[in-house]
Amino acid sequence: MAFRAVLEKVLPDKHAVQGSELYDKINGAYLTCPRSGRFDRETEIQPGRPRTPLAIKGTGHTSFAGAANVQDGITIASQGLKGLRLCEDKGQIAIGVGETWGSVYTELEKHGLTVPGGRVGRVDVPGLILGGGMSFYSTKHGFACDSVLDLEVVLASGEIIHANAKQNSDLFVCLKGGLNNFGVVASI
């Protein structure tokens, strides 16, 4: 089955292909916008073609246009993957990759808490974390990625795993500063 036919079947209202008006508007890339708290690994990550290059688009803080795009591949817009969950002891927070630092700070402020996160509220969480990240607290607590305890990652195989100090620890180290070169991070 051709790639376009697979897209029509699995994502009938959530895709744009070359030749369509929407395609031209979004800079010549395939774009999908997951709306649930998790990626559907069958339809969002692998829509019928192995080895398809992926790009992850956040809220956009990179200094040049088209940074979160890929030629002849799929661009996944993460803005719909929201969710904030503060642990009962208030010592940890799980953050969906669609959240911005502004929404994280607003939620934590209700509890008298903060995190070593981004300096610009409209910027999404994973861009800063996966790029290392300088925060207001970096001189005292290190890079923003140093405070991360767990990453939920979708691998190229479609498998969803956790990377942390005990599970998949090599991947955990690589993701903190390695951007999206090692998988699609779905939750931090």
Are 76 and 88 found together in one domain?
no
At 63, which amino acid appears?
A: S
Are 110 and 183 found together in one domain?
yes
Q: What is the pLDDT of residue 48?
A: 47
State how beta strands 74-77 and 54-57 pair: parallel
Residue with more model confidence, 19 or 182? 182
Are 59 and 99 found together in one domain?
no
Are 53 and 97 found together in one domain?
no
Are 62 and 140 found together in one domain?
no
Q: Of the residues 55, 80, 105, which one is the last residue of a structural domain?
A: 80
Beta strands in the chain, from DSSP E residues, in sequence order: 30-32, 54-57, 74-77, 84-86, 93-95, 150-154, 160-164, 184-187
User: Could you report the per-residue pLDDT of 56-112, keeping only the tens digit for each?
Assistant: 777 766 666 666 677 777 777 777 788 899 988 888 999 988 899 999 999 999 999
Only one residue has tokens 């996160």, namely 117
Distance of CA 10 to the CA centre of its chain: 21
Are 57 and 101 found together in one domain?
no
User: Could you report the per-residue pLDDT of 103-149, keeping only the tens digit for each?
Assistant: 999 999 999 999 999 888 888 888 888 888 888 888 998 999 999 99
Q: Which residues contact 70 (CB under 8 A, 6 or more apart)?
A: 29, 53, 54, 55
User: Could you report the per-residue pLDDT of 15-65, keeping only the tens digit for each?
Assistant: 666 667 766 665 544 455 555 545 454 444 444 456 677 777 777 666 666
Report the domain count for the chain.
2
Q: What is the pLDDT of residue 47?
A: 44
Q: Which residues contact 56 (CB under 8 A, 6 or more apart)?
A: 68, 75, 76, 78, 126, 180, 184, 185
Q: Of the residues 80, 113, 138, which one is the last residue of a structural domain?
A: 80
Q: What is the pLDDT of residue 66?
A: 61
Query: Where in the sequence is the domain holding 111, given as residue range(s)?
Result: 84-187
Are 74 and 104 found together in one domain?
no
Helical (H) or strand (E) element with 185: strand 184-187
Query: CA 69 to CA 51: how far, in whole Å?
Result: 16
Q: What are phi and psi of 94, to 5 degrees?
A: -95, 130
Q: Of the residues 34, 55, 80, which one is the last residue of a structural domain?
A: 80
Are 120 and 140 found together in one domain?
yes
pTM over the 0.85 mark: no
Are 74 and 136 found together in one domain?
no
Q: What is the pLDDT of residue 162?
A: 95
